[in-house]
Amino acid sequence: MNRLIKKLTLNKWVLPLLMVGILYMKSLFLLVTLYDASPRVLIMSLLSLAPISVIVSFSFLFEGRKKLFYFFAVNVFYSFLFYADMTYFDGLNRLFSLYVLYLKNISAEFAASTSEYFMNLNFLVFLDLPVWLFMLFRSKKVIDKSLLTKGQEAMLKRIMLFGTAFAMSFIVMLTQMFTVRRTVGIENYENHALMLSPVGNHMINMASYVVDRVKSLDEDELASIRGWFNMNESHFNVDEQ
């Protein structure tokens, strides 16, 4: 275990590649859970690699135990996010997003009992977390700080490596998204997880949410929005049975 921890933290490529693999497998598990296993789902799951690589590219900025901590934090975050995706998709046929939290009276859509949520296989996304938590605590005693590269030159190399990895993966991700947005079926929320990838879909939702939060509207625009919501109120409220 000690040798494994040293290899993961001291080698600049091993942990990032492992991060990509684990997040991809969890993303694939999510897609199979939502759409069932098929060759189409397997092929479309490859669209997850570019968005995942964008997230993983930030790990090149860290070294030693900090890199392991970054991986654990990202792994925990997306494990809970993917679990929320599976839960919300069962009720609303769409992935979890901050916009979903603004919907009213959606409790009827989650009619399944609490035991049903806890008895399914969705919890498999958390299966590896205890192992990584143990390795994170163990690394405090294993990693020799004297072996870590220090100085401005080492930091510059890490920044250049991050910049290269981020730019390449980001360009591929944008190319995928612009291509997929012209594909038939993208207007259906049920297809977003498959066509945009789970990680990519969340990136788009978060970017849209941030833009909406900082954008200022004049009175005419606000009145127009209120009028639209009044006309479509039935779509945002679930009638109680």
d(CA 169, CA 52): 8
Q: Which two tokens stand for residue 90?
A: 């069962």
- Looking at residue 113, what is its pLDDT? 41
d(CA 167, CA 219): 40
Task: For 145-185, write each residue's pLDDT tens digit.
Answer: 655 666 677 888 889 999 999 999 999 999 988 888 777 77
- Looking at residue 19, what is its pLDDT? 93
CA atoms within 13 A of residue 139's CA, in its CB half-sphere: 22
- Structural domain for 87, as ranges: 2-236
How many residues does the structure list for the chain?
241
Whether 80 maps to a domain, the answer reads yes
| Three-class SS state of 103 | coil
Contact 17, 69 (CB under 8 A): no
Residue 30 burial (C-beta neighbours within 10 Å; 0-12, 13-18, 19+): buried
d(CA 96, CA 213): 18
Render each residue's pLDDT in the chain as its tens digit; 241 residues. 777 877 777 788 889 999 999 999 999 999 998 888 889 899 989 999 999 999 999 999 988 888 899 999 999 999 999 988 888 777 676 778 776 666 555 555 554 444 455 557 788 899 999 999 998 888 877 776 655 666 677 888 889 999 999 999 999 999 988 888 777 777 777 777 888 888 988 888 888 777 776 666 677 777 887 787 777 766 555 444 4
Whether 97 maps to a domain, the answer reads yes
Whether 149 maps to a domain, the answer reads yes
CA atoms within 13 A of residue 100's CA, in its CB half-sphere: 19
Whether 241 maps to a domain, the answer reads no
Cα dihedral sign, 23-28-31-32: negative
pTM of the entire structure? Answer: 0.79
Contact 30, 87 (CB under 8 A): no
CA distances from 201 to 77, 79, 115, 127 (A): 15, 15, 29, 24
**Torsion (CA) 115, 120, 121, 127 in degrees, nearest 10:** 0
Q: Which two tokens stand for residue 3?
A: 């040798």
- Looking at residue 146, what is its pLDDT? 52
Whether 186 maps to a domain, the answer reads yes
Whether 92 maps to a domain, the answer reads yes
- Looking at residue 144, what is its pLDDT? 62
Quote the number of domains for the chain.
1
The DSSP 8-state label assigned to residue 240 in this structure reads: P
